[in-house]
Amino acid sequence: MENPLFKHYGNNTLNLSNRMVMAPMTRSRSDNPEHKATGLTAKYYRQRATAGLIITEGTFISPEAVGVVNVPGIYTPAQIEGWKLTTQAVHEEGGKIFAQLWHTGAYSHPDLHNGKKPLAPSDVNPEQQIFTAKGFQPSHKPQPMTTEDIKRTVNDFKQAALNAFEAGFDGAELHGANGYLLQQFFSKNSNLRTDEYGGSVENRARILFDILDSIKEVADIRKIGVRLNPSLNGIMGILVDDETIELYHYIVNRLNDYDLAYIHLIEPFTDVSGNAYAIQEVAKYFRKIYSGTIIINRAFTKETATKVLQDGDADLVSFGVPFIANPDLPERFKTEAPLNQPDQATFYTPGEKGYTDYPALNN
């Protein structure tokens, strides 16, 4: 019987040669003044084009969205041109690629914003170390966003989606996970607002639906995905609480109305066993609620990924680190070939080393 990992997958947007997705991973190779993806970026993604779908590293939607150095943006003409090199390379290999649209919110530093505080829902310091040009520096209390700031950010996401399509991407993923801006709005402990973007579950989720509605006005919403991390706890200043399950139930149920390309869910990556406020098995829980395509992510091996597909809890499985060290990961899984081991020391360092120099099987 054929392993489901290697089966074709299609819906009204996706037409994928297999069910292995390359997860979005920051690689910090855009160490150029224009903060753009380069020919080296294109080579990296070309090498991994046998994934059923590639989701790029997070790409910043505006200067206000920046939270890390050496990460590509998608808000200037030069950046759009830079990404065209990547989409062309992947398409030449027969691959599919989505851009992940990113705003870090409070996870940033004034040094990345000409001395200004980064914008976030409320003035809650995430207490993180931020990677700046001077090295790692502690985060500060951010500047609470005005309603005008929020409206501008919604428009920035819309424009970034348009820019992604102009750059040749097959679609775009909204980064609503891992404690960044959208999840900062979702979470009670990082969103202390009392206006229409704070307080109730519906209000805290509002920005996501404002973004989707704005994109829907100008582009095919069936080419948009959303990434969510419902059981994130104790990381990036986000905690699960007595309304977390209700919040994500509301979000995912309402996403049924949008006919999206997919939702991309993350299983808990800290121990939440025994925590009554946390969803223990994310894919299994939301499969009962969501009628569309589900991608699931959780440090999968070939065996555990196969099982989640066989159990019917997800349609696609995303792999992160294994794709860093194994550009031909689907072929290695298919042939039971050994895997290259990743060099963590080069995950975020400029240049080819630890980026495009991992050998493929036929090298």
From the list 44, 107, 180, 258, the catalytic residue is: 180
Q: Which residues of 340-358 are buried (b: 16+ CB within 10 A; e: fewer)?
A: bebeeebebeeeeebbbeb
The SS3 assignment for 58 reads strand
Cα distances (Å, whole numbers) of residue 333 to 37, 166, 326: 29, 34, 10
Q: How far apart are CA 7 and CA 86, in angstroms?
A: 25
The answer to whether 105 and 118 have CB atoms below 8 angstroms apart is yes
Catalytic, 180? Answer yes
What is the four-CA torsion angle of 285, 286, 288, 291, rounded to 10 degrees? -170
Q: How far apart are CA 51 and CA 16, in angstroms?
A: 9
The tokens of 252 are what?
A: 């995912």
Q: Which long-range contacts (CB under 8 A, 24 or more apart) does 136-144 make?
A: 137/109, 137/111, 139/106, 139/107, 139/108, 139/109, 140/109, 140/110, 141/117, 142/105, 142/106, 142/108, 142/117, 142/118, 143/116, 143/117, 143/118, 143/119, 144/119, 144/120, 144/193
Q: How far apart are CA 139 and CA 112, in angstroms?
A: 11
Q: How far apart are CA 276 and CA 54, in angstroms?
A: 34
The residues assigned a catalytic role are 180
